[in-house]
Structure 1
Amino acid sequence: MDSEHVEVGWADTAVARFHYARAGTGPPVLLVPGAGGWRFSFEALIPLLARSNTVYALDPPGQGLTEIVDRSFPYGTTAVASSIGSFLDAVGAPRTAILGHSWGGGFALRFAELHPDRVSRLALIAPGGLDVKDVWEFRLARLPPFGELAVRIGPARSTRHLLRKSFAHPERVPEHRVGDLVDMLRSPQDRATRLRQMLRVERSVRWTTTEQNLHLVTVPVLLLWGSEDRILPARLVERFTARLPTVDPHVISGGGHALHDDCPHETLALLAPFLKADHA
């Protein structure tokens, strides 16, 4: 497959109907976005990683066009993390490297704790996974009716605000992504169900158990953080390095929370050789 060609499709499982993108050939790498980022947050990174990997960019439960179909789905951190396994089964990837950003990094860590045999290595960009207080925007979204108002009445304003807060270099903010995300929020395809599920995930995720079990993550971990992160501060690197058995931490000077877009060259220079090790 041409590494520049990105296919967008669906993977139907008993848990969810997953929306995802696929590109490239080679050892698999799964991209798991942060809250509110969806697979769009990796649009610039996908073709670069697809030069040497089969890349799957996922909308996890509560994100994008993915729809939870299991009526007994318990939501919460472990439920979302566990659903990754059903997606990998559906696309025929028994074991993979995972790149997770923000909350996506937290879900990747929890999945590695639960299913260590299915993860070859973890690349984490400003990940969730620690029992710390979220920024006020996410705390507010957990409170009815503020979350409902944000996603139904003012999605463009709230999306633009969070996107800009995720960058230390304002000139690098991909403004077109606001329109893409808002269009997806407003997509008529099962819209009410998707928005309800998004808010339920947002209000159910907690990281206490993930942090308590970080010692179970024994695969190689590349930890990347921007020094100017305004969502999750770079000082949290020390908590991860104290708890993860095998971690290579890097704080990139001048980078924001969306490090892979804010400092793409520096990020890729560290990511590419780390993921290439899976080729051996």
Structure 2
Amino acid sequence: MAVVELAAGPVAYEDTGGPGPVVVLGHGPPMDSRVWRKVVPLLPGFRVITPTLPLGGHRMPLRPDADLTQRGTARLLGDFLDALDLTDVTLVLNDWGGGQFLINEGRTERVGRLVLAACEAFDNFPPGPAKALGVVARMPGGMWLLLQLFRVRAFRRMPGGYGGMSVAGIPDDLLVDWFRPATRDRRVRRDFARFARGAPPRDQLLRLAAGWGAFTRPVLVVWAAQDRLMPADHGPRLAALYPDARLEVVEGSSTLLGEDQPELFARLLAEFAARPDVRAS
């Protein structure tokens, strides 16, 4: 695993170094690049980069003054693309949809295509059950207490939370490992809490979302038919919002499309990422 030093701190990533177009796969909290472990081997013709974003599953804490609000994390993602000097990137957002705020920040010059795969959108930051996380993160000691609850398997597997993010089911040892860094390192826990309480209020979210149509390059919206966290109508709404977008609805999957339908998702992604770079004038 490689590490790049950004202004906000270190970010670890894996890079297949493949010969083809660049695909950057994002993830949600508190996950890491392993959420794509089934998909990456199915993209041999691409250069696939999987950063571990500072959403609570990262193992190297960021600087104490790092901006980990939703928009701050989007800017960090933009800094990551800059640091690796990536161009014509197919950027995939799954679960965490905050990468769309790059549009509001005017930071999409390196993004040739955007894949919105069962991710947060509009006023769904964070999605339903996860809204309590932002409340807990504002309470002294609240994040530490919540992480203790995740030591209990029944709590981890609740269908309204992580237990409902995959039809197939997230392997429990992997889920435990995703929560381990924030459980053991108070600095990572600090980062996780800053991200958890960093969503803008609803009215601001909707104003920001109204600006996403400024991204005129190709967009693929992949929505999961059995998703408990991302509203079913958000897929069609996103496809209608972006000027050059199409919608695919995947059966037999919840939020983590790469966990439930890796072959189908890899095929859709490969076909889309291989499109020529058509830039708006």
Q: Residue 199 of structure 1: SS of its match in structure 2?
A: helix
Query: What letter is aligned with 2:38?
Result: A
Distance in 1, matches of 2:181 and 2:37, equals 15
Unaligned segments of structure 2, at least 5 residues:
none
C-alpha deviation, 1:76, in angstroms: 1.7
Distance in 1, matches of 2:128 and 2:114, equals 28
Q: Residue 24 of structure 1: SS of its match in structure 2?
A: coil
Number of aligned positions between the proteins: 264
Q: Residue 99 of structure 1: SS of its match in structure 2?
A: strand
Distance in 1, matches of 2:35 and 2:94, equals 9
Unaligned segments of structure 1, at least 5 residues:
1-7
The alignment's TM-score, normalised by the length of structure 2, stands at 0.84
CA contact (8 A) 1:156 1:178 kept: no
C-alpha deviation, 1:159, in angstroms: 4.2
Percent identity among equivalent residues?
22
CA contact (8 A) 2:151 2:176 kept: no
Root-mean-square deviation (CA, aligned residues, Å) is 2.4
Partner deviation per Cα, 1:121-178 (whole Å, 9 max, x = no partner): 01121121311374453122112254331224534645444332112344xx333312
> Is residue 165 of structure 1 aligned with residue 158 of structure 2?
no
| Runs of 4+ displaced beyond 4 Å | 133-136
Partner deviation per Cα, 1:9-46 (whole Å, 9 max, x = no partner): 21112122112122131322111101222222112212
Q: Residue 126 of structure 1: SS of its match in structure 2?
A: strand
> Is residue 221 of structure 1 aligned with residue 219 of structure 2?
yes
Distance in 2, matches of 1:233 and 1:136, equals 9
Of 238, 241, 245, the match for 2:239: 241
> Is residue 33 of structure 1 aligned with residue 37 of structure 2?
no
C-alpha deviation, 1:215, in angstroms: 1.1
Distance in 2, matches of 1:94 and 1:256, equals 31
Structure with the higher fraction of residues in helix conformation: 1
2:4 maps to: 11
Q: Summarize the Cα distance change of 1:156–1:54 in structure 2 as closer, same or farther, 3 Å threshold.
A: farther
1:192 maps to: 186
CA contact (8 A) 2:81 2:110 kept: no
Distance in 2, matches of 1:76 and 1:165, equals 25
Distance in 2, matches of 1:48 and 1:273, equals 12
